[in-house]
Amino acid sequence: MGTTIRKLVYDIGGGVPDKRKFKAVQLGGPSGGCVPEQYLDTPIDYEEITKVGAIMGSGGAIVMDNTTCMVDMARYFMDFIQDESCGKCTPCREGTKRILTILENMCKGKGQPGDIEQLEELCEVVKHSSLCGLGQTASNPVLSTLKYFRDEYEAHIFDKTCPAKICPALVKFEVDPTKCKMCGLCFKGCPADAIKWEKKAVAVLDKAKCIKCMSCYDRCKFDAIM
């Protein structure tokens, strides 16, 4: 108790792998909240963690870097919470289901104006009306990511893009010629033969053949897949 998040992540945990940038840490298990970089020096105890939107919960800590989509992260945890809901009370049973549907639609490129406001309203209803601790903390992943990473939600809805390039429906699957290093790694990793490449030439992605498996994105070390 009292150890800072920074010490936990960097000294005890060894920092973020592959020299990637720290983005957030999700504390407290599935019902916990995501804490951004500006709160790395927060002491880990019940009161201080609650102030920044997380909980001690099960004592879990998941560190995320700049390749993590916070909308997809909220969707992942809400999927678990919705599945765990016993269904006894309506706010948790129906509220978590509706929250999950909205998040899924965002990740599929089907987000609509007003979705953010509806998420906030649903989260507050579930939080204050549920009978047990599961429902009362179910909104934490969504509310914390909305608070600190609202721009990513807006990008999913209004720009139809996923800043982290994690949601396949929102990735263009094009090669940025200004970033391509002509290494051929994307070509070698494509299982659908959808990438054309020759030595000392920029790779070209054939969208007609692309199956959106994200292997090219995973292989490219230069962020050249748009």
CATH of domain 1-65: 3.10.20.600
The CA distance from 78 to 84, in Å, is: 10
- Residue 75: enclosing H or E segment and its boundaries? helix 70-84
Distance, in Å, from the CA atom of 2 to the CA atom of 8, rounded to the nearest integer, reads 11
For the chain, what's the residue count? 226
Coil vs helix vs strand at 101? helix
pLDDT at residue 46 greater than cutoff 90: yes
107 touches 163 (CB < 8 A):
no
Average pLDDT over residues 167-189: 92
216, containing H or E segment: helix 215-219
Per-residue pLDDT, averaged over 18-42, amounts to 93
Its CATH architecture, for the domain 69-166, is Up-down Bundle (1.20)
Specify the pLDDT at position 19: 85
Of the pLDDT bands very low, low, confident and very high (cuts 50, 70, 90), residue 18 is confident
Condensed to tens digits (0 to 9), the pLDDT of residues 193-216 reads 999 999 989 999 998 999 999 999
CATH architecture assignment, domain 172-226: 2-Layer Sandwich (3.30)
Q: Report pLDDT for 72.
A: 97
CB 141 within 8 A of CB 73: yes
- pTM, two decimal places: 0.87
CB atoms inside a 10 Å sphere around CB 222? 12
Paired residues of 26 in beta bridges: 34, 62
Backbone angles phi, psi at 119, to 5 degrees: -60, -45
User: Domain map of the chain by residue range?
Assistant: 1-65, 69-166, 172-226
Distances (CA, A) of 203 to 170, 188, 195, 208, 218: 20, 11, 7, 15, 15
The tens digit of pLDDT for each residue in 149-161 reads 999 999 999 999 9
**pLDDT for the residue numbered 223:** 87
Q: Is the pLDDT of residue 114 over 90?
A: yes
